[in-house]
Amino acid sequence: MTADFVRHATEQPEHWPVQSQKQYDWNRENISIEIKNHRQEDFEKAPMHVAVLTYLGFGIVTLFGYFRDFLRAVGLEKRNLAQEREEQKEFVPLYQDFENFYTRNLYMRVRDNWNRPLCSLPGPVIDLMERVSDDYNWTFRLTGRTIHNVINMGSYNYLGFAENTADYLETVADKARHYGVGVCSTRQETGTLDIHVELEYLVARFLGVESSMVFGMGFATNSMNIPALVGKGCLILSDELNHTSLILGARLSGATIKVFKHNDMVHLEKELRDSICSGQPRTHRPWRKILIMVEGIYSMEGSVVRLPELIALKKRYKACLYLDEAHSIGAVGPGGRGVTELFGVNPADVDVMMGTFTKSFGAAGGYIAGKKELVDYLRSRSHSAMYTSSMSPPIAEQIIRAIKCITGHDGSTEGIRRIRQLAENTRYFRAKVKKMGFIIYGNDDSPVVPILLYMPGKVVAFAREMLERKIAVVVVGFPATPITEARARFCMSAAHTKDMLDEVLHHLDEVGDPDGEGDS
Amino acid sequence: MEYLAWLYYQYLLVTGIYVLEPWEKSIFNSVLFSAVAMVIYTSYVFVPIHVRLALEFFSAICGGQPESTMALMN
């Protein structure tokens, strides 16, 4: 079996099926028809009184924060967090900036809604360990009881591959018995196993590109490989709402970074034109490379990138495109192959396709795929390939079995059933929530559903109420989202049955207010 | 009664008091209550007087001309 894969890996690229063979017409009308087919999302603005009340709420809690800080400084109250040492009182203060203030006075009050420990696999229902606090969330205590069968609306389990059924995991257990679990080496030394070669071949064929490389960690795939691709004298145009790993990789590379408004192609074109005209910062020479960094689905908004317009722009201005499909691979598209399939775009047009296996495949790690020259270059130049340990064999086998399931190569229709189930769940949930009157962001096809709650008190009360009713949701507030747009984020999964979704919708109806502000 | 409890809950959520500890909630509630009480008392004492003066002022402008000429002639 191993020899087959070595032979396949050296086959000519023409034998590998390319995703979409049709010629893409760059005529403007065709592009706008494609965009209309995937209805553009609108980010509905909050009513004015909601914005005012949100600021009011934050203002009042900030005032109380100053009051409590004063009490702590005077000595009337015990200090629970880090504080300056007595001997260093004349030194520059360490804990007075806004971030520490926010953590001490806002986050600590409500932090029982995050970091909740689970004690089961992250499937459609989970078990939570019960955790109480006696001193208003400064310390926690586990009572020893477990909350069973909480419906899980927070895990990125889009296709339901986070499962522990024995017959599905048979091959994974075999590989663990054969290879062990640790690889004890980096890719360049002795860490490239035949299972990695098989996995890379499968990933490349799945995406419809020439070649791919897999890494052990998804965050490190972005932050360690972008510095290998661009450097000083290059230009990076990155979307406003890009993930931290992309921003970190961009900053680490030393290239000039310009940010364009979220999904705004007009602004991007303007930035491109201005940058190309003015050139590199001081010398005004032409840029060595221009890289546009976007994501397939943005995890906080649920919006989808406008791929056909981007490809037209990229070709016109001779830039390169870096597409991060962390949330969209496996979750969108009729065959689960991501945004390129969703829009019917030739995957060879995207220069660097990146993705992670954490979300739809139920494993860990990331990949970068594209032309053979690109991937071969990365194999020798990437920090991640040289210094981090390679992917663990049972995890690689889990990804292999997931890809085989999705494409139908294991002989069953389970993959297609899951993709269709996810699409149906997404459509059903979004339609119902919109009908209830909530404000949702994002494209109608994306399985990430953020429900806007705006006010800090409502966000916290929502999370606690839903836990009372045995539904686990993820709520996000200020540092990860703009200060007035706190939200609760629901992640659809193919493993959710219609009954589970109906129960969640029923409780959402009770807890939420029909005006879309949350919490009745 | 249920409705009042719901209203209080909404007030807690909207002003952001929900996240504070009980003694802080009491401080805020008492400060707000005393401010509102002072506003009501002040309006009770002063609003009738101000309204009467305002009405006199405006009636002196609009319908006052005939009266003053008569007063002058007399």
Q: Could you report the per-residue pLDDT of A33-80, keeping only the tens digit for each?
A: 444 455 556 677 778 888 899 999 999 999 999 998 888 888 777 777
Q: Is residue B69 part of a domain?
A: no
pLDDT band at A499; cut points 50, 70, 90: very high
pLDDT higher than threshold 80 for residue B42: yes
Among B13, B21, B32, the strongest candidate for a mutation testing the A interface, having the largest count of A CBs within 10 A, is B13
Indicate whether A425 and A301 sit together in one domain.
no
Region A348-366 average pLDDT: 91
Indicate whether A353 and A476 sit together in one domain.
no
Q: Can you give the residue range of the structural domain that contains B58?
A: 20-64
Q: Is residue A453 part of a domain?
A: yes
Of the listed ranges A185-194, A286-295, A509-518, the one predicted with least confidence = A509-518
A251 CB contacts (<8 Å, ≥6 apart)?
A257
How many other CB atoms are found less than 10 A from the CB of residue A260? 20
A64–B15 CB contact, under 8 Å:
no
User: What is the per-residue pLDDT across A125-177, written as a single tens digit (0 to 9) for each?
Assistant: 999 998 898 888 888 999 989 999 999 998 898 998 888 888 888 889 999 99
Helix, strand or coil for residue A129?
Answer: strand
Indicate whether A356 and A382 sit together in one domain.
yes
B19–A456 CB contact, under 8 Å:
yes
Sort out which chain B residues have CB atoms less than 8 A from A109's CB and list them.
Answer: 19-21
Among A62, A78, A107, A519, the strongest candidate for a mutation testing the B interface, having the largest count of B CBs within 10 A, is A519
Of the listed ranges A21-30, A193-202, A279-288, A402-411, the one predicted with least confidence = A21-30
If you average pLDDT over every residue of chain A, what do you get? 85
Indicate whether A209 and A356 sit together in one domain.
yes
Indicate whether A429 and A379 sit together in one domain.
no
- Report the alpha-carbon distance of residue A447 to residue A438 in Å, rounded: 16
Q: Is residue A362 part of a domain?
A: yes
Sort out which chain A residues have CB atoms less than 8 A from B13's CB and list them.
Answer: 455, 457-458, 461, 519
B18–A56 CB contact, under 8 Å:
no
Strand order in the sheet with A256-260: A211-215, A366-370, A352-356, A320-324, A290-295, A235-239, A256-260
**Total tally of structural domains belonging to chain A:** 3
pLDDT band at A87; cut points 50, 70, 90: confident
Task: Give residue A24's pLDDT.
Answer: 37
How many other CB atoms are found less than 10 A from the CB of residue A320? 18
| Nearest-by-Cβ selection for A461 from B6, B18, B24 | B18
ipTM reported for the complex, 2 dp: 0.77
Indicate whether A386 and A290 sit together in one domain.
yes
pLDDT higher than threshold 50 for residue A19: no
pLDDT higher than threshold 50 for residue A515: no
Task: Give residue B62's pLDDT.
Answer: 79
Task: Give residue B64's pLDDT.
Answer: 63
Task: Give residue A516's pLDDT.
Answer: 42
Task: Give residue B72's pLDDT.
Answer: 59
B15–A60 CB contact, under 8 Å:
yes
| Nearest-by-Cβ selection for B18 from A136, A457, A520 | A457
Indicate whether A97 and A129 sit together in one domain.
no
**A448-454 and A471-472 beta bridge pairing:** unpaired
Q: Is residue A22 part of a domain?
A: no
Q: Is residue B42 part of a domain?
A: yes
Q: Is residue B25 part of a domain?
A: yes
Region A499-511 average pLDDT: 91
Helix, strand or coil for residue A130?
Answer: strand
A458–B6 CB contact, under 8 Å:
no
Task: Give residue A7's pLDDT.
Answer: 41
Output the six-digit token pair for A428: 């059903």
| Nearest-by-Cβ selection for B16 from A58, A519, A520 | A58
User: What is the per-residue pLDDT across A251-261, written as a single tens digit (0 to 9) for each?
Assistant: 999 999 999 99
- Report the alpha-carbon distance of residue A475 to residue B73 in Å, rounded: 81
B16–A110 CB contact, under 8 Å:
no
Q: Is residue B46 part of a domain?
A: yes
Sort out which chain B residues have CB atoms less than 8 A from A461's CB and list them.
Answer: 13, 18
Q: Is residue B1 part of a domain?
A: no
Q: Is residue A441 part of a domain?
A: yes
The Cα of B32 is separated from the nearest Cα of chain A by a number of Å equal to 12
pLDDT band at A9; cut points 50, 70, 90: very low
Indicate whether A392 and A270 sit together in one domain.
yes
Task: Give residue A39's pLDDT.
Answer: 53
Task: Give residue A438's pLDDT.
Answer: 87
Region A396-425 average pLDDT: 89
Q: Is residue A47 part of a domain?
A: no
Question: In degrees rounded to 5, what are phi and psi of residue A37?
Answer: -60, -35
Q: What percent of chain A has pLDDT over 70?
A: 90
Task: Give residue A367's pLDDT.
Answer: 94
Q: What percent of chain B has pLDDT over 70?
A: 85
Task: Give residue A79's pLDDT.
Answer: 76
Region B2-13 average pLDDT: 90
**In the listed set A364, A388, A407, which residue is the last one of a domain according to the structure?**
A407
Output the six-digit token pair for A337: 């192959």
Task: Give residue A23's pLDDT.
Answer: 38
Q: Is residue B54 part of a domain?
A: yes
Q: Is residue B70 part of a domain?
A: no
Q: Is residue A96 part of a domain?
A: yes
Q: Is residue A386 part of a domain?
A: yes
Among A60, A66, A72, A483, the strongest candidate for a mutation testing the B interface, having the largest count of B CBs within 10 A, is A60
**A235-239 and A366-370 beta bridge pairing:** unpaired
Environment class of residue A134 by beta-carbon count within 10 Å: exposed (0-12), middle (13-18) or buried (19+)? exposed
Sort out which chain B residues have CB atoms less than 8 A from A67's CB and list them.
Answer: 24
The Cα of A476 is separated from the nearest Cα of chain B by a number of Å equal to 15
- Report the alpha-carbon distance of residue A197 to residue B66 in Å, rounded: 106
- Report the alpha-carbon distance of residue A208 to residue A348 in Å, rounded: 8
Q: Is residue A117 part of a domain?
A: no
Q: Is residue B74 part of a domain?
A: no
A57–B15 CB contact, under 8 Å:
yes
pLDDT higher than threshold 70 for residue A517: no
Question: In degrees rounded to 5, what are phi and psi of residue A369?
Answer: -135, 155
**Total tally of structural domains belonging to chain B:** 1
Indicate whether A399 and A419 sit together in one domain.
no
Query: Which of the two residues, A32 and A498, has the higher pLDDT score?
Result: A498
Region B16-45 average pLDDT: 93
DSSP A29-95: HHHHHHHHHSPPP--PPPPHHHHHHHHHHHHHHHHHHHHHHHHHHHTSS---S----GGGTTS--SS
Tell me the Ramachandran region of residue A180: left when phi exceeds 0, alpha when psi lies from -120 to 50, beta otherwise: left
A457–B24 CB contact, under 8 Å:
no
Indicate whether A203 and A321 sit together in one domain.
yes
**In the listed set A373, A407, A441, which residue is the last one of a domain according to the structure?**
A407
Region A207-214 average pLDDT: 93
For residue A466, give the CATH number of its domain: 3.90.1150.10
pLDDT higher than threshold 50 for residue A29: no
Task: Give residue A1's pLDDT.
Answer: 40
B10–A110 CB contact, under 8 Å:
no
Indicate whether A493 and A429 sit together in one domain.
yes
3-state helix vs strand vs coil in chain B, percent to 5:
90, 0, 10
For residue A401, give the CATH number of its domain: 3.40.640.10
Task: Give residue A40's pLDDT.
Answer: 57
Indicate whether A347 and A496 sit together in one domain.
no
pTM: 0.83
Task: Give residue B65's pLDDT.
Answer: 57
Please count the residue pairs, one from chain A and one from chain B, whose beta carbons lie less than 8 angstroms apart: 48
Q: Can you give the residue range of the structural domain that contains A146?
A: 125-152+414-512
